[in-house]
Structures are given as structure tokens and as C-alpha cells.
Amino acid sequence: MLAGLVGSGGGGRRAFVDATGTPVALPATLRRVVATDDGVGALLLGLGVPLTGCAATLADIEAVGAPRAPDPKAVAALRPDVIVTGAVGGVHDLANGRLVEALRRVAPVVAVDVGRPTAAVADLRAMFGAVVGGGPPAAEPVSDRRVGAP
């Protein structure tokens, strides 16, 4: 598993190490979620995550741009708690590298390894906890030999 919770960030926030090895401070509750492409959106929907928007066309989900090229203004208009993107080889798979920084100004950005769907699903279950029928979000660190999390 690439990602895992690594402890509380204070103020009701918790730190999550994503598939790029980046610690991301997440709000305690994740209610408004935006995906940056239809593959990530499908993973989220398959787990029962309440998807608010997606940078692709998914039935009954607000479109926020082209796959892997979301419009930061359209994303911001949805006021997401978290933005979930794909990663390949430990790098965000967005069409433009500057998009990650623009999206981080809107909400926390978490990457899941789209090249390893089983790991991505496990990471999403750990991140979303009870929302996806997995109990509360993990409170203990999750080992990750490749990223080096405790």
C-alpha cells in the first residue's frame, strides 16, 4: 500500500501520505470530493464516495474540465474538502504539472496510484473510512516500504 494515515495534524486535521510520498493534511470529515479524471472518479464511485465533481463526464456528477486537466476555478466553485488525482510512478498524472499547485490552493490534493488499482482502492478505503464501509478512518500509521512512512 502506498498511502496511509500518519497521525493527527491538529485542529481536527489528519495527515495522509499519498502515492507521490507527499504528506497531505486532510479535514477530519470528507464530504465534498472532486476527482481529476474519470478513472479516479470511477474508483471513488465504486467505493460509494459521494463525488461532488469530476474532470470528465460521469453520470450525474458536475463536470469541472477535461480528464487530467481540471479547471481550478470550476473545482473551487464546488468547495471540495479534498481533490483526488491519479499518480503514475510516484508523480501526479495531470496534463500540466502546474495544475497540482493551483489545485492545492483550492483544497488538499491526494494522489492514488492508478497503475496499481488494488493499492489505490486500499488507500481510498483508509482515507475515507466509514464513508466507504470501512469503519472510521485509520488512526494508526500504515507501513509503506517504498515511501518510508513509519
Residue-wise pLDDT tens digits, 62-119: 999 999 999 999 999 999 999 999 999 999 999 988 999 999 999 999 999 999 999 8
Residues 58, 41 contacting (CB under 8 angstroms): yes
Please indicate, yes or no, whether the overall pTM of this predicted structure exceeds 0.85: no
88, 39 Cβ separation under 8 angstroms? no
Q: Where are the domains of the chain?
A: 29-130
Which residue type, as a one-letter code, is found at position 134? G
Least Cα distance to 1 among 147, 133, 105 occurs for 147
SS3 at position 100: helix
- Host H or E run for residue 9: strand 4-10
Average pLDDT rounded to a whole number, residues 126-140? 57
Q: What is the mean pLDDT of residues 58-64?
A: 91
CB 58 within 8 A of CB 46: no
- pLDDT 10s digits, 9-54: 445 567 889 999 999 998 888 889 999 999 999 999 999 898 999 9
CATH of segment(s) 29-130: 3.40.50.1980
Q: Phi, psi (5° rounding) for residue 68? A: 65, 10
